[in-house]
Structures are given as C-alpha cells and as structure tokens.
C-alpha cells in the first residue's frame, strides 16, 4: 500500500496498523459491490471491515468515480461515528447532544472526502474511533464554555398540558423528512424558494434543497442503485433534516413578507 504522507508532531510518520493494511490488501481487488455487506457485518465478525479500511476504500472508489458504493460505505461509517460521538457527548440534553453528534459527523465526512490529504484526514486511516472521540470532546468543551440555553416543547392540539404532559410537535415525524412548513413553502411558493436559493450560505445545504424539492430525489432509498440524498452526501437522514432546517431559516429571512 502507498504510505500516508503526514507525520506526528514529533516527526514520526503516520502508519496504518498491520491488521488494517492486511484487510485492505485482501479486499481491494474483490468486487466493490460486496463491500457494503462487509461493512455491515456484525461487530466481532472476521469479515467486518474496519473503519480505517472503509475510509481507504471510499477514497479508492471516489478516484474511480464509483460514488454510489462509496456513499453506502460512508453511511456505515456515519452510523459507527454516531455511536462513538454519542458515547462521549455526555452531560447535555438530547437536542444538544444530537447537535454535537451532527457537527462532528459533518466534519468527519468532509475529511473523508477531502481531495487533498492532510494530517486530520489521514489520521482517519490510522485511528478512526480516536479521531471521532477527539473531535467530540473538543465540541463538548466548546459547548460547555457557552451559556446554557433551555429548550421547551411547544404545545399542540394533541395535548394542552392539562394531563401533565406536553405534546411534542416533532413526535411521529420520520427522521430526515422536511417539516410541514418547509414542504408548504416548496409546494405552494416554488418561485420564492428558487429566488431565495442564493440565501442558503452552505453550498451543500443548497444542493440538498434543489435535489429534494426541484429534482425529486428521495432522502433515503431502499434501492441502493438509485440516488438518494443520504448516499449522495454520505450522511444520515437526521443530518439531512438538520440541513433543511438551517437552509429554510435562511430562505425565510430573505423572503420576508413573500412567504
């Protein structure tokens, strides 16, 4: 295998573990269509692809232009990353924890897909779980230094609190699906949405809105041969939902009274 190009701070070169290199050498010349199944194999299975191996295989696939299979592998990495990040993002309410996990996941995926190798991107082939842990702890430290905010559920017609409970307006919604308000904007005022696309500051968020609401792409597809937002961007449906929320907030700010 070609060596990694980065060094530790003390000058030692980055090196992959021997078991990682051995697994890459066994797998890389096999049919890539079988790789997602190996990535999904149960933990502890001899066939299960190591996370560092998956990172390397994704880079091989992207160089070949095989983005569909690369997306499936990234989906598995994101699931593993979410478990690790959630375990280390402690001491917060559920919403804040999810925000931290999403933030860490987005950055990890960016590093995996980076065109130019860096110390941070190559470290994912050295110690993937450790890289996720460090990023999560850094995100936790930043959150702890910020003033705490408290979030309250908003009552809806489904419950007025008289029985001691408050209905959650998001309860029952599938992860990744746009909110009713976002769907209404897209269906009833597509002209306004198209005009305000430039207000969406993150180009990936803007692309996701275009693919979903103008091209009709599904968020998740059971048919792995067909494109979906999750496979295209290599992130979870929950992260897609977070992207939509941020994008439509910027759209509403620009549209003003037009909506």
Q: DSSP states of 59-73 as a string? A: HHHHHHT-HHHHHHH
Burial of 109 (0-12, 13-18, 19+ CB in 10 A): buried
* Alpha-carbon distances, residue 259 vs 75, 127, 212 (angstroms): 35, 48, 20
What distance in Å separates the CA atoms of residue 86 and residue 125, rounded to the nearest whole number? Answer: 21
The pair of three-digit structure tokens given for residue 232, joined into one six-digit string: 């295209």
DSSP state of 156: B
Residue 214: predicted pLDDT: 86
What is the residue whose two structure tokens read 């696309």? 197
Please report the pLDDT score of residue 176 as a whole number. 57
Q: What is the pLDDT along the chain (259 residues), one digit of tens a residue?
A: 889 999 998 899 999 999 999 999 999 999 999 999 999 999 889 899 999 999 999 999 999 988 889 999 998 999 999 999 999 998 888 878 888 888 898 889 989 988 889 999 999 999 999 999 999 999 898 887 765 443 333 333 333 333 333 333 333 334 456 777 788 788 878 888 888 888 899 889 999 999 998 888 889 888 777 888 988 888 888 889 889 989 998 888 888 866 6
Helix, strand or coil for residue 259? coil
For residue 170, what are its two tokens? 């998001």
Say what the pLDDT of residue 92 is: 82
CA angle (69, 71, 72) in 5-degree steps: 65
Nearest-CA neighbor of 89 among 142, 150, 140, 134? 140
Q: Structural domains in the chain?
A: 18-144 (no CATH), 180-258 (1.10.10)
Instruction: Give the whole-angstrom CA distance, residue 186 versus residue 198.
Output: 15
Whole-angstrom distance, CA of residue 54 vs CA of residue 74: 8
Distance in angstroms (rounded) separating the CA atoms of residues 102 and 100: 5
What DSSP character marks residue 29?
A: T
3-state helix, strand, coil in the chain (%, to 5): 60, 0, 40
d(CA 20, CA 126): 9
100 close to 136: Cβ distance less than 8 angstroms: yes
């Amino acid at each position: 295998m070609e060596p990694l190009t980065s060094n530790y701070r003390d000058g030692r070169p980055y090196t992959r573990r021997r078991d990682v290199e051995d697994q890459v050498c066994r797998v890389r010349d096999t049919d890539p269509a079988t790789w997602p199944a190996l990535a999904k194999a149960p933990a502890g299975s001899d066939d299960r692809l190591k996370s560092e191996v998956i990172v390397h295989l994704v880079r091989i696939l992207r160089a070949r232009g095989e983005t569909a299979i690369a997306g499936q592998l990234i989906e598995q990495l994101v699931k593993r990353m979410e478990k690790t990040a959630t375990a280390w993002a402690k001491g917060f309410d559920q919403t804040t924890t999810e925000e931290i996990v999403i933030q860490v996941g987005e950055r990890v995926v960016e590093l995996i897909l980076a065109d130019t190798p860096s110390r941070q991107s190559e470290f994912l082939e050295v110690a993937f779980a450790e890289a996720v842990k460090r990023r999560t702890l850094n995100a936790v430290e930043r959150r702890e230094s910020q003033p705490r905010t408290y979030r309250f559920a908003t009552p809806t017609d489904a419950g007025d609190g008289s029985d001691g409970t408050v209905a959650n307006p998001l309860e029952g919604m599938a992860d990744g699906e746009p909110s009713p308000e976002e769907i209404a904007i897209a269906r009833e005022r597509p002209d306004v949405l198209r005009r305000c696309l430039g207000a969406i500051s993150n180009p990936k968020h803007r692309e996701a809105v275009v693919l979903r609401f103008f091209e009709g792409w599904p968020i998740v597809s059971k048919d792995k041969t067909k494109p979906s937002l999750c496979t295209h961007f290599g992130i979870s449906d929950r992260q897609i939902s977070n992207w939509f929320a941020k994008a439509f907030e910027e759209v509403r700010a620009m549209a003003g009274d037009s909506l």
